[in-house]
Structure 1
Amino acid sequence: MIRADLADELHRRADTDQRARNLCIETGEAGDLARIDADNTAWIKSVIAEHGWPGAALVGDQGADEAWLLVQHADRDPEFQSQALKQLKSAVEAGDAPARHLAYLTDRVLVGAGKPQLYGTQYADDGNNLLPQPVQDPEGLDERRAAMGLDTAAAYDQRMRTAYTR
């Protein structure tokens, strides 16, 4: 049964997250981003502790996307991201979360640990350019991406670079 209260709070928090990130992109200043991320991380940790991974069955499809977004942006707590990744994997296997969420969070955790990513979803800004982070087995990248419901690495790279130049 969908918990509308959790879904509504996820929507509010994801909206705040995205507004803050967009402002950061526009102005080049982080503003309240660290505080927002810390608050969202503490909240989503408590939700996961109480309910498990907040998948579509609990919070609907949009809420599941928003839960993943909050965990994705919990970079200041890599231990939590790693723990959440295990729960997300189980949710994906149960059909309660999309595989693309698993691909992105897997890469985020790997890159955060200083390891090459599997799916090529993570980029870094070197001050002048947007660069993909190192990838394990680049020859098998598009096959791995397709298995997770992602488009080709070239198409994703083009989309990322187009968004970066706006």
Structure 2
Amino acid sequence: MTASDPLRPDLARELIVRAAQSAARRAKRVRNHLDAVQLGQDRHADHADTKIMRRILAEHDWPGYRLIGPDAARAAWSLALHADGDADFQRAATTLLERAVQDGDARIQHWAHLYDRTLANSGRPQEFGTQQVLIATGVELCPVRAPDSLDQRRASVGLSPIAAALETVRRRLTQDHQPGDSSTVVLAQVA
């Protein structure tokens, strides 16, 4: 084992697989490619992912680079980010992720996204402008606190200006859109 090897490669593998499966489910959900039974299975899988993440946080605090490596740390962040059905879990994960960032064991951008997600999910204005809603006509930024200073706050956590980030998302959505896809409203993230 080298200094860059994660302490828990088994946990790293599990999180990477779970995050990939979660992303595939979300892609189908966004495109309305799921029937009622599949939607129920999808919600159950999301609940199971959150339950696993709760266990990991209880045992290890935030699973950062040292424990699981950068790819799995991104996977853990993605699972926490999309655990919208459990606001208490997301708030706890945000706190632990912030501590990991302060210890140099996680990315500050991941914390900014998760922090914004918890704010948006609770109906409060976000700080960094990372969350948006997909609507029939495109994307709409969720409410932001003090929009005039948004780009300064984004820069403070290493995020690009909001106009560039929104344009990137719009391009990605245009590329991902397939003929026959239905429009739906989904909380999304802006890099």
Asked if TM exceeds 0.5, the reply is yes
TM-score class normalised by the smaller sequence: over 0.9
Describe how 1:56-67 pairs up with structure 2 within 5 A: 56-67=65-76
CA distance in 1, matches of 2:43, 2:131: 20
Match of 2:30 among 14, 25, 29: 25
For 1:143, what is the secondary structure of its paired residue? helix
Q: Report the counterpart of residue 117 of structure 1 in structure 2.
A: 126
Question: Structure 2 length as normaliser, TM-score?
Answer: 0.82
Structure 2 alignment gaps of length 5 or more: 1-5, 178-191
Letter in structure 1 aligned against 2:63: P
Q: Does 1:7 find its partner at 2:16?
A: no
**Structure with the higher helix share, 1 or 2:** 1
1:44-123 matches, cutoff 5 A: 44-123=53-132
RMSD between aligned residues: 1.4
SS for the counterpart of 1:123 is strand
Equivalent residue for 1:156? 165
Distance 1:123 1:163 in 2: 14
Distance in 2, matches of 1:33 and 1:102, equals 25
For residue 37 of structure 1, what is the aligned residue in structure 2?
Answer: 46
> How far, CA to CA, are the matches of 1:121 and 1:77 in structure 2?
19
Which residue, out of 131, 134, 139, partners 2:140? 131
| Aligned-pair CA distance for 1:126 | 3.1
Deviations 1:63-122 (A, max 9, x none): 110000000011100011111111111000110000000110010000011000000010
* Residue-by-residue CA offset, 1:97-150 (whole Å, 9 max, x unaligned): 000001100100000110000000101123433211010111111111111111
Which amino acid in structure 1 is aligned with residue 98 of structure 2? K
Per the TM alignment, residue 28 of structure 1 is displaced from its structure 2 partner at its CA by 4.4
Which one has a bigger Cα radius of gyration? 2
> In structure 1, how many angstroms separate the alpha carbons of the residues matched to 2:24 and 2:134?
20
State the TM-score, normalized to the length of structure 1: 0.94
| Relative contact order, higher structure (CA 8 A, sep 6+) | 2
| Count of residue correspondences | 166
Q: Report sequence identity in percent.
A: 37
Matched to 1:122, the amino acid is Q
